[in-house]
Amino acid sequence: MPLLSICIPAYNRPEWLKRAILSILTTPIEQQPQVELIVSDDSTIPACKQIVDELIVNWHGKHHYCQNTPSLGMAGNWNHCIQIASGEYVLILHDDDYLEAGAPGKILETLQQHPNESALLFGVNVVTSKQNIQKQQIFQSQKRLTSKEALEKLLTNSSFIRFPGIVLNRQVFQRTGYFKETIGGIADIDLWIRICQQYGLLCIPITTANYTVHGNALTMQMFNTQVLKGIENLFKNVEAQQWLPKSTLQKCKTNYFHQFILAGTVRHLKRWDAKSASNTFKLLNQFNIENKHLKLKWKIVKITLKIILNPKDLFIFVQQSNEV
């Protein structure tokens, strides 16, 4: 049995799928038998299968390609990847993300050093479509977070866990369940909450993957009222389960919602879509979000974006200052 299954849920992005698979092929040949390569393909075009067929001849480990007809949908495809995996551990690598050179070998070594850990979180680079690093999300030292510590981190920072950075023992899904296919784009957040609550996290100070931010990413569709109501319900469920104190949850919610909404605003501005940016920014007024415990960096970003989106506010502020 392989130690690690690297699962790629693919959908109509052959060139990026090629990049993702090539990054897995950097695994040293002697370690490849310990790694299983899985592609679960929801694509409606044949190009993705052609890419897999072309590249898989260079792979010396176990592999599995599955064409999903009909398509399973986002969360359904994630679940299918896990269900057909045979490795002891699972890493889901979206087709628009890719691993650092030699990363599979480093992950294998870490798993062998920590055989009793169920959930491990590695560092990731946040990169543009041209592979320019925007942000390095890495841990300074190895640390094990308890369930409460992991939950608080997750519910304070909307980007704390990124898909290509988390590696899970396959048995985790037998206890926590899989991604809920009925709740749309927040299915990952919902599962991370359950995993953190039951297992905590081992944070590893090694960068293994690159998470791509681009205009066609599914996450661009996340910045709306429906998604935020879903996230709010996740917070309510954590409160109902008494997994965290209510006062802690309120602090978490303040910063989580601000980070999420402000990040969406910035992404739209980078696409020169001022209307969508403004609509996203206004989401802050639609929810009961306190400012009392808001971190300074989000206060600064919020004020800056408000001025960018409403220049007249700066004019009024300057005018009032001159009158004093």
The 3-class secondary structure across 91-148, one letter per residue, is: EECCCCCEECCCHHHHHHHHHHHCCCCCEEEEEEEEECCCCCEEEEECCCCCEEECHH
Instruction: Tell me the per-residue pLDDT of 193-246, one tens digit each, with 9 for 90 and over.
Output: 999 999 999 999 999 999 998 766 656 668 888 999 999 999 999 999 999 999
Return all residues near 323 (Cβ < 8 A) that are at least 6 apart.
Answer: none
Under 8 Å between Cβ of 303 and 294: no
pTM flag (> 0.75): yes
Residue 161 has pLDDT above 50, yes or no: yes
Same domain for 215 and 71: yes
Same domain for 164 and 253: no
Of 219, 237, 263, the residue that ends a domain is 219
Same domain for 171 and 35: yes
Same domain for 242 and 115: no
Same domain for 85 and 40: yes
Q: Which amino acid, 202?
A: L
E-only strand ranges, the chain: 4-10, 35-41, 63-67, 89-92, 98-99, 119-127, 133-137, 143-145, 166-169, 201-212
Residue 322 has pLDDT above 80, yes or no: no
Same domain for 170 and 299: no
Of 172, 194, 219, the residue that ends a domain is 219
Residue 97 has pLDDT above 80, yes or no: yes
Of 219, 235, 253, the residue that ends a domain is 219
Per the structure, how many domains does the chain have?
A: 2
Return all residues near 308 (Cβ < 8 A) that are at least 6 apart.
Answer: 269
Question: What does the pLDDT read at residue 305?
Answer: 94
- Of 188 and 323, the one with more pLDDT: 188
Same domain for 269 and 211: no
Question: What does the pLDDT read at residue 321?
Answer: 37
Give dist(CA 181, CA 319) in Å, integer: 52
Instruction: Tell me the per-residue pLDDT of 13-36, one tens digit each, with 9 for 90 and over.
Output: 999 999 999 999 999 999 999 999
Average pLDDT estimate for 287-296: 83
Percent of the chain topping pLDDT 90? 84
Same domain for 243 and 212: no
DSSP 225: H
Q: What is the mean pLDDT of the chain?
A: 92
Same domain for 147 and 253: no
Question: What does the pLDDT read at residue 16?
Answer: 96
**Domain containing residue 289:** 222-323
Give dist(CA 25, CA 51) in Å, integer: 13
Average pLDDT estimate for 96-124: 97
